[in-house]
A and B are shown apart, each in its own frame.
Chain A
């Protein structure tokens, strides 16, 4: 009895201290903040979040980029290669003396590709981390956070999103005026481009007129499926059936069975790597046959290792994964990392280089200056450079530069997108072999705004 009584008292005391501590904390934070009236303020909010600003001209000790990353959660298997490629870029950049002669660091924080965590992470980067820019974020994080990301006014160059949402959003709108800027750029080719190329390739080059699709439900895969269906039907093909399935199942036999009850010339697989391998094995075990076309995200060396033989002869359609600087990148990558390489990782390498060059071009790390420099260092005027080292030298000599990336030539459109040829490759046990190429110029005729 007695013991119980004291323990109740103790816990009450605990509670009071706890409340007191919390209360004091909140109060203190509140008071330390600035209280003002809207009349007395010109409306820009006195936002002190651009703490990364250094006085123009003087060199900071270090430059930090924030990298929201899929380190845990459903998409964790995509991150190792992206991390390795980013780290490779950072290494090369620092070997060349770094942007503004400062050391470049990347603050990589887990978002698990969840909207709320992405939001918190971006807040932390911008407000507590003094980052000059952000190099990351997935479609499913960007779309619900679009307004929020615009309010942050920090340049974001991301290797992940293929979404058509970004076809008309992002970039600097091709003007020097900051007022119309939308702070997001992507170094990976959008779905619009490579699905239109894939559809064209299937109809014009391969003569396939009826297709079926097996698709996952995630933002990236769903986006691919919808875009591909649109283009394919617009060009005169017929999608006879679409079977959708949730990720992470132990077997996809029943979905395949359902799909193959229809009659078609080829089937498309829009799934991320891990499940795609399961599906291809199920497909092979079931002996369904048929020509397979895979989405761009599966262009991963792990696919060859796992099902290079099983899926031999299958096609994969991807926006050209081999920009001007690809070979050089690939040989350095293989020296530093044995993580299986995919397109997004190559694009992460580009994103990091673009941002580092933009910082060096800007002369300081203020978000506005970096944002304005992104177009300047990547678009096709000036000396062509393929590495940070070359670009830094050229900039220091007072030249304008045009960075050519490893995944594309990184010539950003007004909406911050990149173009590339679409290549249909054949899977062989030894790797990907080019089947046919649909040049970007042909696709540009079809696509109005991108």
Chain B
């Protein structure tokens, strides 16, 4: 039966190749004089689409950590923020407040990823030997410390003013207006997300991934089988940190400015909710879950002022209630997540 499941998971060819081709095509597209204009009225979908592919990158890392290796990382936003702010501080030119070194964007991008990885190594080495629930709270605490520091050290980060004048490399490749930039951004970031999806999927389908799932199932047994559990955990943790850092840097390069509210606990909640309602451990399922929650968030905006006896002010709260209710209903009827595998998650449905 497990064979069958894994065969099914492997079915659709190789996402790494698809990802590479997509990245190549997207870069070619950027270099070419071609551009695509989104149809009128659809821009807000593309806007959310950009955020979706960035969160998706974070999520494939998180899913490798939790869905496959069982590491509870409640602070993906810490790495996302460190990547984003490192990139912003290095590349911003003359921001309103804070430091901007004005370096070229590739430097910022690389440094963002490295800084997030460094935090991952530091945190991993010191805390991965802790129990699951302690790891969860430590990562949550680190995310709070990172966010608190962004606000406090405003002479560097700009505090709640954010850091402006960050280069926008994707937007710079087309002069066809904001609308075309948005489409290009979705295409390029989406291609990278696909590539990382492929890479992480290949990793989890390999013998390596089987060790990870063994760790999730029973750490001690895996250790006695001669696998160096700690090293496996650390590598997975750092991979996730790196891709989250990259996504954070990309977000800043897309927006052209960093802002502390990009990096709040809300981001952690959204990716975790996406992962769990999609079904942790299912590579495609988690992305589906993220799509469900993010499109629900967006679509409910369109019902503003169309419900009788409810003011617009009340609707804002009702909208969030509906999101909560959606979670409760999904989890009630599919505790393992919509596309999840109950056996593997140890969930009794």
Partner-B contacts on A (CB < 8 A):
1, 4-5, 8-9, 11-12, 14-15, 18-19, 22, 29-30, 32-39, 41, 43-49, 51, 69, 71-72, 79-80, 83, 106-110, 113-116, 119-121, 123-124, 126-128, 139-140, 143-148, 151-152, 163, 165, 217-219, 222-223, 244, 246
Contacts and interface: CB of A to CB of B under 8 A. Distances in A.
B288 interface: yes
A1 B2 CA distance: 11
Interface residues of B, number: 70
A250 B301 CA distance: 33
Interface of B is mostly: helix
A148 B316 contact: no
B179 interface: yes
A110 B318 CA distance: 11
A115 B316 contact: no
A116 B34 contact: no
Contact of A143 (B8, B37, B161): B161
Given A4-B1, A49-B40, A127-B41, A36 B35 contact: yes
A127 B43 contact: yes
Contacts, number: 203
B164 A120 contact: no
Interface string B273-314: 000000000001100100100000010011011000000110
A128 B38 CA distance: 12
Given A19-B284, A49-B43, A49-B179, A144 B257 contact: yes
Given A120-B48, A143-B161, A4 B180 contact: no
Interface of B: 1, 4-5, 8, 11, 33-45, 47-48, 51, 96, 148, 151-152, 154, 159-164, 168, 174-180, 183, 255-262, 264, 266, 284-285, 288, 291, 298, 301-302, 304-305, 312-313, 316-317, 319-320, 338-339, 341, 343
Given A120-B48, A147-B168, 20 more contacts: A8-B341, A29-B42, A33-B36, A35-B35, A38-B35, A39-B33, A41-B35, A43-B177, A49-B40, A51-B41, A71-B312, A83-B313, A114-B266, A120-B47, A140-B162, A140-B261, A143-B162, A144-B258, A151-B178, A165-B96
A63 B334 CA distance: 45
B178 to A, nearest CB: 4
B176 A41 contact: yes
Given A108-B304, A144-B258, A217-B160, A35 B343 contact: no
Given A49-B40, A109-B304, A114 B261 contact: yes
Chain B CB within 10 A, most for which of A1, A79, A114: A114
B175 A43 contact: yes
A144 B159 contact: no
A128 B316 contact: no
B37 A45 contact: yes
A127 B174 contact: no
Nearest to A2: B1
